[in-house]
Homo-oligomer: A and B are copies of this chain.
Amino acid sequence: MSSPALEIALAHHRAWTRKDLDLAMSYIADDVVCDAPAGRLNGIQAYREFMTPLVERFLIRAEMIASFGDDSTALLMYNTETVPAKSAPAAECVTVRDGKIVYNRFVFDRTPFDEFRRQQAQAAS
């Protein structure tokens, strides 16, 4: 593997898909910026709160579709099986500096997750 950025991105990915959120977050910079579908997340605490429901409640399994990288950038696409959706693919384009992810553009379809939350809220009311 010739991409230092991809090594870090894959280590992060393996950790959170194995539900080891502490290990996963060790690859994230304190001042990370993440552009996610619902808007920008600033800092590692916001990033962790964004990942927590996926890792702790929704994720059943993940499968890498493709991954590439160069010195500073890695691009991943993977599929996840989740409680809300049998197939919920996502893509991440991360920038790595000094062994940590400092930026992530995170693309996925919010629709099945929003529908699931609406159903849960209805069931609870």
Residues of A in contact with B (beta carbons under 8 Å apart): 35, 37, 65-70, 73, 75, 77, 87, 89-91, 93, 105, 107-111, 114
Question: When the two chains form their complex, are residues B68 and A89 in contact, meaning their CB atoms are under 8 A apart?
Answer: no
Interface pair A107/B75, CB less than 8 Å apart:
no
Give the contacting residue for A111; candidates B65, B90, B114; CB below 8 A: B114
Which residues from chain B contact A65 at a C-beta distance below 8 Å? 93, 105
Whether A109 and B37, one on each chain, are in contact in the complex, defined by CB atoms closer than 8 angstroms, is yes
Is the CB–CB distance between A107 and B93 below 8 Å?
no
Instruction: Determine the chain B residues whose CB is within 8 A of the CB of A66 once the complex forms.
Output: 73, 75, 93
B107-A108 in contact (CB<8A): yes
Starting from the known contacts A91-B91, A110-B110, 11 additional A-B residue pairs (CB-CB under 8 Å) come to A37-B111, A65-B93, A66-B73, A66-B75, A67-B75, A75-B91, A107-B107, A107-B108, A108-B109, A109-B111, A111-B111
